[in-house]
Every structure is written in C-alpha cells, then in structure tokens.
Amino acid sequence: MEFTFWDILRNLLLAARWTLGLSLAGFVCGSSIGLLLLLARISPRKPIRLGAVFYIELFQGTPLLLQLFLVFFGLPLIGLDVQPWMAAGLGLTLWASAYLGEIWRGCVEAIHVSQWDAAAALGLHRAYQFRLVILPQAARIAVAPTVGFLVQLIKATALTSIIGFSELLKTSNVITNATFAPFTVYGVVALIYFAICFPLTRYSKYIERILTVG
C-alpha cells in the first residue's frame, strides 16, 4: 500500500487530534496544580513557600524529556501499570504546573502591594483579599503569557513520542519509515504544528495589546 501525499497529510492530521487532546489534558490538570503552587508560592508560611520553590526549580531546571522518562520508568517500580498516555499526561501536567505557577506568581506580584493593603484596610481576611481584589487584576495580566505557555505545551507534546505515546510526531516516524520521505513528512509535521500554534501566538499578542492599553 503506497502512501500518496494526501495519505500522508490525512494520517498526520488525524494524529494531530491526540496532540491537541494531550495538550488540553496537560493544560487543565497543570493549571489546577499550578494554582495550588501559586498559592503556596505566595504563602506567608516559609516551609510551604520553600516547598513550592523546590518544586518549581526542579521542574524548570531539568529537561522535560528526562522528566517523562522518570515518570514512565518510575511508576512501574511502585507497582503501577503505566501506559504511555498516562506517563505523558502526568509528566506534562507536572512540568506545566511548575511553569504556570511561576507565570501566575509573576502576575500576582505585579499587582502593587497597596492593593493588598487597601483590601486589608477594608477588613478582608487574606484569602478574600486574594480572591476578591488581587486575583481578578492578576488574571487580566495573566491571559497573554498563559496562552503563550499553551503554545510551549503543544510543542512539548512532541517529546511524548519518545516514550511511545502515539501523537503527531510518533505517527510521522511510522509514516517516514513506510515512505522513505523524511523531508516531506517532517515538513508537513512542522506546518501542522505551525498551523496550531501560530494563531494562539497571535491571540496572545492581541490580548496583551488590548489589555495593556485598555
């Protein structure tokens, strides 16, 4: 069965669904943990703060590829049966949570301390200061860099092919093997990633522009 160019394109586009699915899962789960990390990072209690710093430094200071290997080879050691999609999802979630937590911390710290003071002067408990006054303002600044990170996450899913998750890049390796046409196949793969990421990048820049001026 010979591959036509249309076969190559069609199969790659179908595989791109898995890339998008994994990206979404990683983003949603990573955001949940990232939020907790943010709260820990700005916590007045030193051990909690340091724990968050430790976590962030660990995941930002080591290669994502090795983090994926550690999850993939590590979980079976504690008796869990790990499928590639689980290791891919968990690995990307932990990695994303560290970056999102740090990005959001930057946004929260960009809010001037007078906002916290004013909220405290109104008699609000610290948790409410955060939720009612700081968070809405920080969230506004956070949209652009968060969307920018989503682009990084989508590109990062390509590494999960190495631990055997069948997304766009792994499928392209199989097709390259069947067609002996790496220039065409990897070229099309690059274009598909570009088609997914570029609109998000533009959107992020657009948000940054209107939320900074307005």
**Among positions 66, 110, 122, 211, the unique one binding another protein when judged by CB under 8 A:** 66
Kindly tell me the number of DSSP H helices and DSSP E strands found in the chain. Answer: 9, 0
Work out whether 76 is an interface residue with another protein (CB under 8 A): yes
What count of other Cβ atoms lies within 10 Å of the Cβ of residue 19? Answer: 24
CA distances from 148 to 21, 198, 200, 213 (A): 18, 10, 7, 19
Helix (H) or strand (E) holding 55: helix 46-60
Report the residue number, 8 or 119, with the smaller CB distance to another protein.
8
Spatial separation of the C-alpha atoms in residues 145 and 203, rounded to whole Å: 11
For another protein, the binding residues in 81-140 under the rule CB under 8 A are 81, 83
Work out whether 186 is an interface residue with another protein (CB under 8 A): yes
Binding positions for another protein, rule: CB under 8 A: 1-4, 7, 11, 14, 50, 53-54, 57-58, 61-67, 69-70, 73-74, 76-79, 81, 83, 151, 155-156, 158-159, 162, 164, 166, 169, 171, 173-178, 180-183, 186-187, 189-190, 193-194, 197-198, 201
